[in-house]
Structure 1
Amino acid sequence: MSVTTAGAASSLRMHVWRKLKGLGALYLQQSVCLLPERPAVAAAVAELGERVLADGGRMRVVHIEVADEGERRELAGEMTATVDREYAEVLERLPSFFSELARESGRGRAIFAEVEESEADLEGFRSWVAKIESRDYFDAPRGDLVRAELVRAGETLAAFATAALAGEDADGATPSG
Structure 2
Amino acid sequence: MNQITWLLLTYKVPPEPAKKRIALWRKLKGMGAVYLQNGVCLLPKTDDHTRRLKIIENEISEMSGDSVLLETVALDGAQAEKVVARFKADRDEEYAEFLDKCKDFEAEIAKETAANKFTYAELEENDVDLRKLQSWLEKIRKLDFYGATLATDARERLQACESLLDVYAKRVFEAHDENR
TM score, norm. by length of structure 2: 0.86
SS in 1 for 2:73: coil
- Report the CA distance between 1:7 and its aligned residue: 6.8
d(CA) in 1 for partners of 2:157, 2:134: 11
- Identity across the alignment (%): 27
Letter in 2 for 1:137: F
Distance apart, 1:110 and its partner CA: 1.5
CA distance in 1, matches of 2:49, 2:63: 21
Q: Which amino acid aligns with 1:59?
A: S
Q: Which runs of 5+ in 2 are unaligned?
A: 1-8
Q: 1:110 & 1:51 partners in 2: Cα distance?
A: 51
Counterpart residue identity of residue 173, structure 2? L
CA offsets 1:120-175 (integer angstroms, 9 cap, x no match):
211222222222212211100110110111111112112211221221227xxx9x
Larger displacement relative to structure 2 (5-14 or 29-38): 5-14
Give the structure with the larger strand fraction: 2
Report whether the alignment pairs 1:3 with 2:6.
Answer: no
Question: What does residue 34 of structure 1 align with?
Answer: 42
2:100 is aligned with what amino acid?
A: E
SS at match of 1:49: helix
Structure-1 separation of matches of 2:89 and 2:106: 26
Contact kept, 8 Å, 2:14 with 2:63, in 1: the verdict is no
Comparing 66-75 with 37-46, which one deviates more in the overlay? 37-46
CA drift of 1:18 comes to 0.3
1:95 aligned to 2:110?
A: no
Ranges of 4+ aligned residues in structure 1 off by more than 6 Å:
none
Give the 5 Å matches for 1:1-177.
1-6=9-14, 9-169=17-177
Q: Deviations over 1:23-80 (max 9, x none)?
A: 2222222111111112332232223223223333332211111131110011101111
The one-letter code sitting in structure 2 at the alignment partner of 1:106 is: A
TM-score normalized by the length of structure 1: 0.87
> How many residues get paired?
172
The separation in 1 between residues aligned to 2:143 and 2:26, in whole angstroms, is: 13
2:164 and 2:125 map into 1 onto residues whose CA distance is 14
